[in-house]
Amino acid sequence: MDYLLTEEQEQLRRLVEEFVLGDVNPYYEKHGHEEFPWPLFRKLGELGLAAIPFPAEYGGGGLDYSTYIVALEELSRTGSRLGGALAVHGLPQLILNQFGTDEQKSKYLPPMARAELLGAFALTEPHAGSDAASINTRASRRGDKYILRGQKIWITHGGEADIYIVMAVTEKGKGAKGVSSFIVEKGAEGLAFGKRERPMGLPHHTREVFFEDCEIPRHNLIGREGEGFRVAMTALDSGRITVAATSLGLAQAAFDHALRYATERQAFGHPIADFQGIQFMLADMATSIEAARSVTRKAAYLRDRGLPFNAVASMAKLLATDTAMKVSTDAVQIYGGYGTSEDYPVQELFREAKIGQIVEGTNQIQRMIIARELLKKFKQ
C-alpha cells in the first residue's frame, strides 16, 4: 500500500482544492448554510466530481475508491458540509450500480453523475435507527405497482433530493429478510416531506419523509423482494469509508486552525505554542489524524482490490469520526473562550464532528461490527 498520492490523485486533489478556495468557501460566506447549496452541487457535476468511483459507462469518473476518498477529504478541508452531501449522494449511486437493472442504471446514473439529479438514502424511522431491521414502512404489491405506507426520519437531502432509495417491509414477521428496497422519485403521488430537522452543525439538510399510500411502478423494486436489507448494508459498508474521509478533512481543518492560532495567540509574554501543554495537544491531534488517515486508506485499498473490507471500513469510520470529535474539541480548547464564539470557525467544526459519530451506524454499532468479525471464527 502506497502512502503517497499518485499523480492522478494529486491532480484531483488540486482540482478540489481550487474548487473549495475559489467557489465553496466564497459561496458559504455569501449565502450561509441554511439552504441546500444547489450551485455548488451542480458545479460538482460540471467538474466531474459527482460520481468519481462509478463506471464511466454511466457517466461516472471510473476511478477507484482510494482516489475518491482523497477528493472527499479535500472537499471537507473547511468543514464536512459539501463532502457529506457528496458522500450521501453516493449511497444511491452505489446501490443502483451494484443492484440496479440496466434500465434503472441508464435512467438514473448519468443524470446523477452530472449532478442534475440529487440522491437520498431512506432507511431510518422514528422507532428504528440502529436496529434497522425493525423498520415498519410497508410496501404492498398491487398489480403492476407497489403502495408504500410509513415514515422515515433524519433523511439527508429529504425534500431536496430527486431520487430516494427507500427500504420498506414487503413480508412482515421475517425481520431483515422481509425488507426490500425501492426507487421513489420526487413527485411520486403520496410522497410528502416534514419540516426541516435541525441537527447540530448547521449544514445538514435533513427532513422527515412520509409515504401516504405512495404509488410507485413495480419495476422500481431494486433487486428481488427480501434483498433490501442486504442492499442497504452493502451500501453502508462502502459509505462508512466516505464518512471517515469527510471526518478526516474536518479534523485536518480544525487542526490547521488550532496550529496557526497557537502561534499567534500570546499569553505570559509568549505565543501559546511555546507551552509544552499546548505542544503535546498539537502532537496528539496530528498523530491521531495520521492514524485515522492510514486506516481509512487501507479500507479503500482493500475495497479496490475486491478483498473483504467491512470490518476495516467500520474501524476507519470509528477512528476517523472519534478523531474529528477529539481534534475539534481540542481545537476549541486551544482557542480558549474565542473557540466558543461563532465569529471563529472551530466551534462549527466541533458541532459538525458530533454528527459523524452517529450517522451510517453509530460508533457503538461500528464496534459491534468489528467485534462480530473478530469473533466469527470462534462461532463456526
Ligand X SMILES: Cc1cc2nc3c(=O)[nH]c(=O)nc-3n(C[C@H](O)[C@H](O)[C@H](O)COP(=O)(O)OP(=O)(O)OC[C@H]3O[C@@H](n4cnc5c(N)ncnc54)[C@H](O)[C@@H]3O)c2cc1C
Long-range contact list for 106-112, CB < 8 A, 24+ apart? 106/58, 108/163, 108/183, 109/51, 109/54, 109/58, 109/59, 109/60, 110/58, 110/59, 112/50, 112/51, 112/59, 112/163
Among positions 156, 247, 323, 347, the unique one binding ligand X when judged by CB under 6 A: 156
Q: Are strands 163-169 and 119-122 parallel, antiparallel or unpaired?
A: parallel
d(CA 304, CA 63): 10
Rg, the chain, Cα only = 21
Among 63, 118, 155, 315, binds ligand X (CB under 6 A): 155
CB of 372 to ligand X, least distance (A): 11
Instruction: Give the shortest CB-275-to-ligand X separation in angstroms.
Output: 36
Dihedrals phi, psi of 205, to nearest 5 degrees: -100, 95
CA distance 253 to 25: 13
How many whole angstroms separate alpha carbon 274 and alpha carbon 70? 33
- 10 given a catalytic annotation: no
* Torsion, Cα of 81, 87, 88, 93 (10° steps): 150
Contact pick of 121, 182, 229, 301 for ligand X (by CB under 6 A):
121
Q: How far is the CB of 87 from ligand X (least distance, A)?
A: 10
Measured from the CB atom, the residue of 45 and 361 that comes closer to ligand X is 361
- Smaller CB separation from ligand X, 105 or 152: 152
With contacts defined by CB under 6 A, name the span among 4-12, 19-27, 100-108, 117-125 that binds ligand X.
117-125
The binding track of 172-211 with respect to ligand X, each residue x by CB under 6 A or -, is ---------------------------x----x-x-----
Q: CB of 284: closest distance to ligand X in angstroms?
A: 25
Which listed residue (125, 208, 348, 360) is catalytic?
360
Quote the least distance from Cβ 157 to ligand X, whole Å.
7
Closer Cβ to ligand X, 283 or 371, answer by number: 371
Site for ligand X in 206-245 (CB under 6 A): 206
State how far the Cα of 370 lies from the Cα of 364, in Å rounded to an integer.
Answer: 10
Answer yes or no whether residue 88 interacts with ligand X by CB under 6 A. Answer: yes
Instruction: For residue 118, state whether it binds ligand X (rule: CB under 6 A).
Output: no
Q: Which of residues 247-306 bind ligand X (CB under 6 A)?
A: none
| Of the candidate residues 112, 113, 122, 324, the single one contacting ligand X (CB under 6 A) | 122
Site map (CB under 6 A) of ligand X, residues 326-365, x = contact? -----------------------------x--xx-xx-xx
Residues 35-74 that bind ligand X (CB under 6 A): none
- The footprint of ligand X on this chain (CB under 6 A) covers a number of residues equal to 20
Establish if 130 lies at the interface with ligand X (CB under 6 A): yes
Catalytic residue IDs: 360
Binding site for ligand X (CB under 6 A): 88, 121-124, 129-130, 154-156, 199, 204, 206, 355, 358-359, 361-362, 364-365
